[in-house]
């Protein structure tokens, strides 16, 4: 499908070969397909944090909220609360959502806020020129850790499962067809969805071959089974050398934050009159 | 003078706060004007907590050094407040737990005989106070019925026992004045925001602003508000900006520590031009400081907080009526100019309670912001003469609405271009200039007292009332600015005409308003500063003024 109408005039500043291109193209493809299936593009809001991933806000011609580092998720929750007809997609980095803004990620999952969080997990701070992130492997040598990191990485999918996320998926930045499908499913999922994308950073952390050799599609896996999901999520801990499953690990139907929160719309209220009535109780 | 002051004290958990409010409402039935000062420690049970209730013929905003009644539910109330006792102070105390001169009542006996819970000791002394102050039983009964939700009959019985246990020792004349509601500063402020069109309130609990959150949460169904209490103050302000993006007027509230966490969001509001109203309730710092006491230490902070340079509005109401009016105004102006607006309050104003006259607060209604006229192609940051760009909200099939924390072009796309950087910075700053011009239409500086006096007390926020009352003794002029940024220099200069000596009165150790005035070329001659967490009493300020005037 032709995704040209989703382009903006902004010049693309990613490095040639960057995994972000795959994510951008898959997202535009997913939106175009969803539009053909009936989604009005004015009902889409794209949010981003700060980092190379965040340029998505400049590169896609839809409503966007280019937030600050780690802080794409709270406004996303509010936008959805303000209008439940809107599809809210947060692009985020591993520095953003697994680091500086991790509390927002946990709480959004806990609430089952009906938003999608897509993490460009390149496992390195690229925009700030190559420091370790919460998902870098033990011993990663970056500019802030020339002797290698002294801490194990976080398994974000396990954290999300424990936090109450109702849709958990992983992909790599190479598999455009899989990414497109996951984006569509995440966006249409009723409740909180997380897509962790093992994105290749060609300049600071080129894991192309590593992922290519280990990644496999989840098959004969029941994503509605919590224990199976946990088992598959624990297969690779972002540190060890083991097969890396991609696809949907977990999926659950549950009431969303907005559904629980919103009360039926009240009749228009004469606030001046209502305030005077209320004041009578303070005599 | 037809006036009464009383102090009621006990352990935290004894219902002192409730009793003081009920006593105030009983006095209110006489047509008097009320002020309540609440003093409580940062704990849930135990400790010593007290309230001072003052009622007078005119509107009042401060308590006196001495009291007419001391009502003691614990020994500390007698021991710690000896300095408040004068000749003729009537002491009513619980004879089971307190050693004192005065009128002792065995509250334990009443509770036991009526088979009432321990907490109802406060109801018994309320009854005793009414009789002692010469207030008829029917008034007492009426107020109790209106204010007690549970076990009304039992409470009335217990109150009557207290009422009958003492004789009448004091005389108050009822006034033929309209009976006014008694509101805390926070309640008035909340109602002002609601009047101004508030749709959402988002906050993380922090004294002295938690009661705004509680009030908004309880008022939410009546006014169709969404009230959220998310994971942190960082989330609070970012959620508010999300609502703002969707066109929903939103306010947040906190104290200095929570505001520290909000500062990155404040700067983002400035850059993205997403309006938000932030209530900052001041309390003594640095750091955790004295959480349940009061200060005026964040003026310099809120005037300057946030990286980069951006327009903002800062107001400081001085009483409940101003809290109501300025909050509504703040919400309207923050949307009109698409900038962050800060309401500076403090624990004294926020949690103090006052007679509230909505008719004297000023008429104010919700205003609509500048909306896109659907032509030409929508640009969120269209450069205009005033710097204010027309708004469109999601979803709009003809508009792509992009907001950005990076420097951006008119469409909201990131830029590092030399010309655009300068253009957009000037666009954002220009809004404050137009805001400043608009504010000339409003009263931004208030002059009270003797307007001919060459000696002036300058104060801000909750010190307004006590300064006006204390200035009366020396027949001085009082100036208090309501808006602190953009600084209303024209109105301030007018207010200063004929002034020879300026005395600044503030609850901080440095004199932050005095420093601000100096920046604007206004030399302050003396500073009266109090920074122990407690408000000025009337007599204390009068004696400080005596020294400063000499």
Per-residue pLDDT of chain B (550 residues; tens, 9 = 90+): 699 999 999 998 899 999 999 999 999 999 999 999 999 888 777 789 999 999 999 999 999 999 999 999 999 999 999 999 999 999 999 999 999 999 999 999 999 999 999 999 999 999 999 999 999 999 999 999 999 989 999 999 999 999 999 999 999 999 999 999 999 999 999 999 999 999 999 999 999 999 999 999 999 999 999 999 999 999 999 999 999 999 999 999 999 999 999 999 999 999 999 999 999 999 999 999 999 999 999 999 999 999 999 999 999 999 999 999 999 999 999 999 999 999 999 999 999 999 999 999 999 999 999 999 998 999 999 999 999 999 999 999 999 999 999 999 999 999 999 999 999 999 999 999 999 999 999 999 999 999 999 999 999 999 999 999 999 999 999 999 999 999 999 999 999 999 999 999 999 999 999 999 999 999 999 999 999 999 999 999 999 999 999 8
Which residue of chain B has the CA closest to A111? B230
For a pLDDT cut of 70, what percent of chain A falls above it?
A: 99
Least Cα separation, residue A67 to chain B (angstroms): 6
pLDDT in tens, B220-238: 999 999 999 999 999 999 9
Residue B534 belongs to a domain with what CATH number? Answer: 3.40.50.920
Check if B347 contacts A (Cβ < 8 Å).
no
Same domain, B63 and B204: no
| B415 within a domain of the structure (yes/no) | no
Residue B427 included in any domain: no
Beta-ladder partners of A88: A45
Chain B window 450-469: which residues touch A at a Cβ cutoff of 8 Å?
none
**Average model confidence (pLDDT) for chain A?**
95
Same domain, residue pair B337 and B452: no
Cis amide linkage into residue B208, ω under 30° from 0: yes
Query: Is residue B342 located within the same domain as residue B203?
Result: yes
* B109 has a chain A CB within 8 A of its CB: no
| Interface touch B181/A45, C-beta < 8 Å | no
In this structure, what CATH number is given to the domain that contains residue A38?
3.40.50.970
pLDDT attached to residue A129: 86
What are the distances in angstroms from CA B275 to CA B108, B244, B247, B262? 55, 6, 9, 14
Interface contact B235-A64, CB threshold 8 A: no
Same-domain status, B155 and B270: no
What pLDDT is stored for residue B46 in this prediction?
A: 76
Domains in chain A, number: 1
Examine residue B67 and state whether it is found in any structural domain, yes or no: yes
The residues in B 110-149 lying below 8 A from A, measured between CB atoms, are: 146
- Residue A87 confidence (pLDDT): 98
**Full domain range(s) for residue A157:** 4-280
Question: Chain B residue with minimal CA distance to A258?
Answer: B226
- Confidence band, pLDDT 50/70/90 cuts, at residue A90: very high
Per the structure, how many domains does chain B have? 3
Is the residue at B380 inside a domain?
Answer: no
Residues B353 and B495 in one domain: no
Q: What pLDDT score was predicted for residue A268? A: 79
Q: How much is the pLDDT for A127? A: 84
Q: Within the 235-274 window of chain A, which residues sit less than 8 Å (CB to CB) from chain B?
A: 261-263, 265-266, 269, 271-272, 274
Per the CB < 8 Å rule, is A66 touching B405? Answer: yes
B37/B354 Cα distance (integer angstroms): 9
Q: Which of residues 214-233 of B touch A (CB under 8 A)?
A: 219, 221-224, 226, 228, 230-232
Residue A100 in 3-state DSSP?
Answer: helix
Q: Quick check: A279 and B245 CB within 8 A?
A: no
In a mutational test of the A interface, the residue from B241, B242, B252, B357 whose CB has the highest number of chain A CBs within 10 Å is B242
Cβ(A249)–Cβ(A168) below 8 Å: yes
Task: Tell me how close the Cα of A265 comes to any Cα of chain B, in angstroms.
Answer: 7
Q: Do A42 and B224 touch (CB under 8 A)?
A: no
- In this complex, the residue of A68, A74, A279 whose CB is nearest that of residue B181 is A279
Residue A238, sorted as left (phi over 0), alpha (psi -120 to 50) or beta, turns out to be left
Assess A43–B contact: CB distance below 8 Å, yes or no: yes
Give the number of A-B residue pairs with CB atoms closer than 8 Å. 157
Q: Is residue B348 part of a domain?
A: yes
Q: Which residues 10-39 on chain A approach chain B with CB closer than 8 angstroms? A: 10
Share above pLDDT 90 across residues of chain A, in percent, rounded to a whole number: 93
Pick from B164, B199, B231: which residue ends a domain? B164
Closest Cβ opposite residue B358 in set A58, A65, A279 = A279
Most A CBs within 10 Å: which of B33, B149, B235, as the mutation test of the A interface? Answer: B235
Which chain A residue has its CA at the smallest distance from B398's CA? Answer: A42
- Answer yes or no: do B159 and B213 share one domain: no
pLDDT at residue A263, as a whole number:
67
Q: Which residue of A has its CA nearest to B363?
A: A272
pLDDT band at A102 (very low <50, low <70, confident <90, very high): very high
Let me know whether B234 and B310 are in one domain: yes
CA distances from A196 to A166, A265, B6, B58, B290 (A): 14, 36, 64, 66, 44
Closest-CA distance of chain B to residue A75, Å: 4
Contact B181 A269 (CB under 8 A): no
Residues B315, B332 contacting (CB under 8 angstroms)? no
Q: Does the distance separating the beta carbons of B222 and A278 come in below 8 Å?
A: yes
Say yes or no for a CB contact (<8 Å) between A68 and B264. yes
Distance (Å, rounded) from C-alpha A158 to C-alpha B136?
A: 68
Identify the CATH number of the domain in which residue B228 sits.
3.40.50.970
Instruction: Give the CATH number for residue B143.
Output: 3.40.920.10
Task: Print the domain residue range for B334.
Answer: 182-361
Q: What is the mean pLDDT of residues A107-120?
A: 98
Q: Find tokens 């703002």 and name the residue.
A: B244
Quote the CA–CA distance of B536 and B546 in Å, as a whole number: 14
Q: Looking at the partner chain, which of B182, B223, B358 has a beta carbon nearest the beta carbon of A269?
A: B223
Contact B243 A10 (CB under 8 A): no
Work out the pLDDT band at A1, boundaries 50, 70, 90. Answer: confident
Interface of A with B in 124-163 (CB under 8 A): none
For chain A, report the end-to-end CA distance as a whole number of angstroms.
Answer: 67
* Interface with chain A: mutation pick from B244, B405, B411, highest number of A CBs within 10 Å: B405
Local structure of A108: helix, strand or coil: helix
Of A215-229, A253-267, B416-430, B504-518, which gets the smallest average pLDDT?
A: A253-267
Which chain A residues are within 8 Å of B243, Cβ to Cβ?
78-79, 81-82
- Residue B92 falls inside a structural domain: yes
**Which residues have C-beta within 8 Å of that of residue B359, sequence separation ≥ 6?**
none
Scan residues 7-26 of B and list those with Cβ closer than 8 Å to A: 25
Label residue A37 exposed, middle or buried (CB < 10 Å: 0-12, 13-18, 19+): exposed
Which residues between 83 and 122 in chain A have a beta carbon less than 8 angstroms from any beta carbon of chain B?
A: 83, 85-86, 103-104, 106-107
Last residue of a domain, one of B330, B361, B392: B361
Same domain, B195 and B339: yes
Which of A68, A106, A107 shows the shortest C-beta gap to B405?
A68
Q: CA A229, CA A221: separation in Å to the nearest integer? A: 8
Regarding whether B330 and B188 lie in a shared domain, the answer is: yes
Contact between B26 and B130 under an 8 Å Cβ cutoff? The reply is: yes
Judged by CB atoms closer than 8 Å, whether chains meet at A79 and B234 is answered as: no
Of B406, B380, B418, B265, nearest in space to A55 by CA: B406
Predicted local confidence at residue B492, as pLDDT: 98
Contact A82 B28 (CB under 8 A): no
The CA distance from B310 to B513, in Å, is 21
CB contact under 8 A, B146 and A283: yes
Number of residues assigned to chain B: 550
**Is residue B101 domain-shared with residue B158, that is, in the same domain?**
yes
Q: B371-412 pLDDT, tens per residue?
A: 999 989 999 999 999 999 999 999 999 999 999 999 999 999
Instruction: Examine the domain organization and report whether B140 and B270 are in the same domain.
Output: no
Query: Do residue B217 and residue B352 come from a single domain?
Result: yes
Residue B180 contacts A where some CB pair is shorter than 8 Å: yes
Span A230-246, mean pLDDT?
Answer: 97
Tell whether B283 is covered by a domain: yes
**Closest residue on chain A to B364 (Cα):** A272
Is pLDDT at A267 greater than 90 in this prediction? no
């Amino acid at each position: 499908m032709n995704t040209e109408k989703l382009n903006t005039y902004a010049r693309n500043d990613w490095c040639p070969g960057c995994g972000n291109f795959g994510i951008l193209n898959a997202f535009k493809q997913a939106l175009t397909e969803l539009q053909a299936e009936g989604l009005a593009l004015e009902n889409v809001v794209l949010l981003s944090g700060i980092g190379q991933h965040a340029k998505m806000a400049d590169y896609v011609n839809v409503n966007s909220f280019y937030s600050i580092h780690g802080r794409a998720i709270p406004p996303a929750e509010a936008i959805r609360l303000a209008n439940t007809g809107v599809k809210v997609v947060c692009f985020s980095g591993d520095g953003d959502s697994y680091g500086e803004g991790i509390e927002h990620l946990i709480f959004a999952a806990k609430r089952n806020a009906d938003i999608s969080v897509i993490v460009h997990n390149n496992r390195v701070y690229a925009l700030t020129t190559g420091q370790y992130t919460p998902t870098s492997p033990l011993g990663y040598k970056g500019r802030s850790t020339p002797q290698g990191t002294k801490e194990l990485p976080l398994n974000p999918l396990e954290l999300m499962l424990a936090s109450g996320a109702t849709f958990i998926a992983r992909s790599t930045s190479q598999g455009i067809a899989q990414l497109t499908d996951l984006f569509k499913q995440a966006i249409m999922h009723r409740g909180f969805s997380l897509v962790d994308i093992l994105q290749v950073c060609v300049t600071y952390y080129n894991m192309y071959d590593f992922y290519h050799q280990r990644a496999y599609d989840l098959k004969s896996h029941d994503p509605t089974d919590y224990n199976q999901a946990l088992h598959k999520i624990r297969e690779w801990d972002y540190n060890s050398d083991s097969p890396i499953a991609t696809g949907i690990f977990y999926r659950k139907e549950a009431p969303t934050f907005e559904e629980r929160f919103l009360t039926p719309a009240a009749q228009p209220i004469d606030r001046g009159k209502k305030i005077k009535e209320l004041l009578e109780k303070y005599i | 003078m037809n006036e009464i002051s009383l102090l009621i004290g006990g352990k935290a958990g004894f219902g002192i706060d409730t009793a003081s409010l009920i006593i105030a409402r009983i006095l209110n039935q006489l047509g008097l004007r009320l002020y309540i000062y609440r003093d409580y420690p940062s704990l849930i049970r135990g400790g010593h907590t007290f309230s001072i209730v003052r009622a007078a013929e005119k509107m009042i905003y401060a308590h006196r050094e001495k009291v007419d009644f001391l009502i003691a539910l614990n020994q500390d109330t007698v021991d710690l407040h000896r300095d408040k006792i004068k000749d003729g102070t009537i002491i009513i105390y619980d004879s089971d737990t307190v050693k004192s001169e005065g009128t002792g009542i065995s509250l334990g006996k009443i509770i036991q005989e009526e088979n009432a819970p321990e907490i109802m000791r406060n109801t018994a002394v309320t009854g005793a106070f009414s009789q002692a102050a010469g207030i008829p039983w029917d008034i007492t009964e009426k107020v109790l019925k209106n204010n007690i939700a549970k076990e009304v009959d039992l409470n009335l019985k217990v109150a009557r026992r207290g009422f009958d246990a003492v004789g009448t020792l004091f005389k108050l004349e009822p006034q033929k004045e309209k009976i006014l509601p008694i509101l805390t500063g926070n309640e008035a402020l909340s109602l002002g925001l609601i009047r101004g069109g508030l749709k959402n309130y988002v906050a993380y609990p922090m004294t002295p602003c938690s009661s705004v959150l509680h009030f908004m949460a309880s008022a939410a169904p009546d006014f169709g508000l969404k009230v959220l209490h998310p994971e942190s103050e960082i989330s609070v302000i970012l959620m508010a900006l999300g609502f703002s993006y969707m066109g929903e007027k939103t306010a947040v509230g906190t104290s200095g520590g929570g505001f520290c966490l909000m500062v990155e969001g404040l700067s983002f509001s400035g850059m993205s031009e997403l309006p938000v109203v932030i209530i900052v309730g001041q309390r003594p710092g640095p750091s955790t400081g004295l959480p349940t006491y009061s200060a005026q230490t964040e003026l310099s902070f809120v005037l300057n907080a946030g990286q980069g340079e951006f327009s903002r509005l800062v107001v400081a109401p001085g009483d409940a009526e101003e809290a109501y009016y300025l909050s509504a105004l703040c919400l309207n102006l923050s949307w009109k100019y698409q900038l962050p607006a800060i309401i500076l309050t403090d624990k004294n104003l926020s949690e103090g309670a006052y007679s509230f006259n909505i008719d004297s607060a000023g008429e104010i209604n919700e205003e609509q912001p500048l909306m896109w006229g659907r032509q030409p192609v929508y640009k969120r940051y269209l450069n205009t003469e005033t710097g204010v760009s027309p708004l469109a909200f999601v979803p709009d099939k003809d508009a792509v609405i992009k907001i950005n924390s990076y420097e951006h072009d008119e469409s909201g796309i990131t830029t590092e271009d030399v010309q655009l950087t300068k253009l957009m910075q000037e666009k954002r700053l220009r809004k404050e200039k137009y805001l400043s011009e608009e504010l000339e239409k409003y009263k931004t500086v208030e002059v009270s007292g003797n307007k001919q006096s060459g000696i002036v007390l300058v104060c801000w926020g909750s010190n307004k009332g006590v300064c006006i009352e204390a200035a009366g003794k020396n027949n001085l002029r009082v100036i208090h600015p309501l808006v602190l940024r953009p600084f209303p220099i024209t109105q301030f200069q007018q207010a200063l005409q004929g002034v020879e000596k300026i005395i600044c009165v503030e609850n901080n150790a440095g004199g932050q308003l005095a420093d601000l005035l100096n920046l604007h070329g206004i030399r302050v001659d003396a500073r009266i500063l109090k920074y122990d967490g407690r408000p000025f009493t009337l007599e204390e300020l009068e004696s400080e003024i005596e020294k400063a005037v000499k």
